[in-house]
Structure 1
Amino acid sequence: MDKVVKVLLIDDDEDDYIITKDIFSRISNAGKYELSWIDTFEKGINAVLKHQYDIYLVDYRLGKHTGVDLVNEAVLSGVKQPIIILTGKGDYKIDEQAMNVGAADYLVKDKIEPDTLDRTLRYALKQAETLKALKESENKFKIIFDKAKEPILISDYTGKIHDINKAGLDFFGYHIKEILVTNDRSLFYTQEDRENFIQELETKGAVSDFECQMVSSKGQVYFCSLSSFLQIDLQNMVEVYHTIIHDLTHRKHLETKSIHESKFSISEHIAKGFAEEIRNPLSTINLVLHELTTDESLVYNETLQTSLEVIKSNFDSINQLTKNFISSTENKPIITQEVGIKEVIEEALSEINDLILGHRIVLEQHILPTEIYLSIDRKQIKKALVNILNNALESMESYPKVLNISTINDSGFYSILIEDNGKGISSALEHQIFEPFFTTKKDAEGLGLTDAERSILAHRGNIIFKPQDKGSLFVIQLPIS
């Protein structure tokens, strides 16, 4: 036997109740409905809030209140049972008002027929069941969405962000109110990545393992893989993208570290072979130079002595360059201790202070005020910073010359950002920036950045080069723990 549907009529006119009861009696299979009656707004809302019935018929006029007031209060209180508004005359504005606050339907009293009422009740109950199932499904999705450990972003073609889970807020470093007024374009490190992502998604309807770089509110850059699919948001009738963000930064760093370690191993092997090959010729040249400069018969030959001094000077330069190259490829043991990194930065800046003053460079500092202690080799990190700072100073050729150094504490790393407004470097040469002997500067060895990279990687840190519209930015990341 089908379940009896409990219907409550909320109407302050007993005659209307009698008429409604008669209409119910003429419905085919009338036994499937059980009609009850309440004559005041207060009793009606109390019954609704206690969920005592399956469906409600509510008169628009209820003393000083209206049926719309009752629907509105019920919906705000989380009532899921359908409520149908009844009125004595057809009024589109009442219809629209009722639907806007959440009424299931709207009926004009003098036009109600048994079949019409039966159909309206059945449709309202069916719609309520569908909405309930949909809500339960949404709640399950919401739980998965909120509890997921990976960031999940819901946005659209324009870049409007509709929602983001807690993992996403933590990942990007935003408060929910901030990110909902942020365009998703600002989350991509380059607009080219965003455009390619959208194009592929719009073309295929779904994207898997789209690799790109994304950036947090604090400027932290992450290597990510995006998996996304299109869906229609039925509530707002807009096409949205559901995007899961996989953080590949750690994996990328391990891959980069492996590449660098291989590169260093090869460089060290080449350097040792180079040293063996050049040591004997250099020793011979040095010996001959000594004999010529001490030969009594040649000592007063000024032209010859001047030429020998030039040869000796170039010999010393080659010898020193060879030593520097070998030194830059050697694995130097690091002796770590707990050191205040702010103090190390100040020491590095102090060492290049004369150059800053001599070249009239504007130094802008945004250093975190709180001292943070890192387990590092003080001497090596200081030298790495000096090398990078010198590189920045040497790249600035025209005034005003501005050097900016700032620090951030993010994602387990203490990051030092060194930015200049120099001539920069072309994208075609960007991948060579840390190669031994690579330089775009006159009279430079091209070993400073190589040595700095080696020291920072030995500390399990990272060094990232980011070309700017004007100048360059180096980001040094040192692990806090």
Structure 2
Amino acid sequence: MDKIRVLLIDDDEDDYIITKDIFNRIPKGERYELFWIDNFEKGINAVLKRQYDIYLVDYRLGKHTGVDLLNEAILSGIKEPIIILTGKGDYLIDEQAMNIGAADYLVKDKIDSDSLDRTLRYALKQSETLKALKESENKFKIIFDKAKDPILISDYTGKIHDINKAGLNFFGYHIKDVLDINDRSLFFTQEDRDNFIQQLETKGAVSDFECEMVSHSGQVYFCSLSSFLQIDPQNMVEVYHTIIHDLTHRRNQETKSIHESKISISEHIAKGFAEEIRNPLSTINLVLHELATDETLVYNETIQANLEIIKSNCDSINQLTKNFIASTENKPISLQKTNINQVINEAIAEINDLLLGHHINLQKDILPTDLSISIDRKQIKKALVNILNNAVEAMEHYPKVLNISTINDSGYYSILIEDNGKGIEKEFESKIFQPFFTTKKDAEGLGLTEAERTVLAHNGTIQFKPQSSGSLFVVQLPID
């Protein structure tokens, strides 16, 4: 077994002799090997070279003190334990030394072989524990810093203790700013945060907790959280280590796949339905033409008026059928780099008369940008007009407020259209993009269906989010 190398740094030779004698009286003292240096300069040099396992440092070292040596050693990253010695008990020196990082503090005239042995053993054991803990912390820190998924460390009150680089990029915060906010600001709804904390406090760990989280710019992400409780040994508080998995893209792809399947079925039904309607409509129109030109009926105004009514309704059915088919057809898109803000402003200009006629207060928060993305300008503009028309028609009571805002985040340009209308009843929320579904009078119910097809064709997403008052539609278009 290797001997424990102990260095005494003391400018008094008598103290060295006394200390050596104490070492000789330690049971099994042969496991220690004592060395002596008599001044500050040689002492700090030996400490920095890390030639010994543990250090006994006298508080008085000429013009310097043992605390000066301790401080310089700690700043230089020395991990070996340093014990401060003094000629008399002084609480202030004790407190100062321990605060800087001393392993212990001993009064010379109270040292005996047992107390010295015990102090050395405890200091070395504590040093080994701290080294192991530090190595563990370093490994965790590397994983923490290099992880591609956001990792958040917070507590029950919502205080954020730390967040990794991936988390800062994900939420769009600077480290100084994120440490000043409450983690409630990162959850899209307070209900999600409350449920997450309740499960975590009850079980001690949570896996795959699905919720929506929001970035500094307002971008909403669909996420899965995995978290566990741990006691922070430095602050002695219970903290949550939470790994955040961004499932937004996967969820969008699943939603897109479901919508595309529904649209494909709708297209198939629409074409079959149209054929079934067109045949009898053609027959009816042929008979109407014969009746309208019959010499015995041509001068009968009542019959002619009724025939005209029938003809008009047949034309309406025919047009409705055409619109239904058009809403389910895959229209080819012609992608060109287009300034997205210009398209938004053109869509707003197209409904300007409608806004004025309904006395609607338009509020815009559109990012000033020259960003150009690859879109079919005509189709995207029509999709925005359809959504804007839907918002205008939903507002029945004054004041009527239409809010249009944009977000540029995580590779998507998001257009948010929010009204303060009557909203959609919960039982109908899943149907709003279905063909012919409408809660409004004299509406075909195809505008949102067509808007959804257009956005999906651009590999984007369109989401409906019910609000406490009104509705919010979020159109996300890929920037690249």
Tell me the TM-score normalized by structure 2: 0.93
Task: Work out whether 1:245 is the aligned partner of 2:215.
Answer: no
Alignment of 1:4-403 (within 5 A): 4-63=3-62, 65-295=64-294, 298=297, 303-403=302-402
Shifted more, 259-268 versus 280-289: the winner is 280-289
Percent identical across equivalent pairs?
81
CA distance in 2, matches of 1:195, 1:318: 52
Alignment gaps of 5+ in structure 2? none
CA distance in 1, matches of 2:426, 2:70: 63
Amino acid at match of 1:279: R
Deviation at 1:64, TM superposition (A): 5.1
Shifted more, 84-93 versus 265-274: the winner is 84-93
The corresponding residue for 1:442 is 441
Deviation at 1:85, TM superposition (A): 1.6
Amino acid at match of 1:325: F
CA distance in 1, matches of 2:40, 2:364: 68
Secondary structure of 1:158's counterpart equals: coil
Amino acid at match of 1:376: I
Alignment of 1:421-436 (within 5 A): 421-436=420-435
CA distance in 2, matches of 1:170, 1:427: 35
Task: Work out whether 1:418 is the aligned partner of 2:411.
Answer: no
The corresponding residue for 1:452 is 451
CA distance in 2, matches of 1:477, 1:325: 25
Secondary structure of 2:417's counterpart equals: strand
Deviation at 1:237, TM superposition (A): 1.4
Deviation at 1:306, TM superposition (A): 4.7
Cα deviation code 1:192-239 (max 9, x no counterpart): 222222222222222222222222222222222222222222222122
CA distance in 1, matches of 2:82, 2:462: 64
Amino acid at match of 1:199: Q
Shifted more, 149-158 versus 31-40: the winner is 31-40
Tell me the TM-score normalized by structure 1: 0.93
CA distance in 2, matches of 1:42, 1:423: 81
Deviation at 1:412, TM superposition (A): 1.4
Deviation at 1:409, TM superposition (A): 1.9
Amino acid at match of 2:28: N
Amino acid at match of 1:269: H
Deviation at 1:41, TM superposition (A): 3.9
Deviation at 1:307, TM superposition (A): 4.4
Deviation at 1:43, TM superposition (A): 4.0
Amino acid at match of 1:242: H
Secondary structure of 2:77's counterpart equals: coil
Amino acid at match of 1:227: S
CA distance in 1, matches of 2:239, 2:121: 33
CA distance in 1, matches of 2:399, 2:64: 73
Amino acid at match of 2:347: A
Amino acid at match of 2:199: E
CA distance in 1, matches of 2:41, 2:28: 32
Deviation at 1:45, TM superposition (A): 3.1
Secondary structure of 1:31's counterpart equals: helix
Secondary structure of 2:102's counterpart equals: coil
Amino acid at match of 2:165: K
Deviation at 1:283, TM superposition (A): 2.6
Secondary structure of 2:426's counterpart equals: coil
CA distance in 1, matches of 2:392, 2:62: 82
CA distance in 1, matches of 2:368, 2:350: 21
Shifted more, 330-339 versus 10-19: the winner is 10-19
Task: Work out whether 1:468 is the aligned partner of 2:456.
Answer: no
Cα deviation code 1:71-99 (max 9, x no counterpart): 23322321101011222333444333322
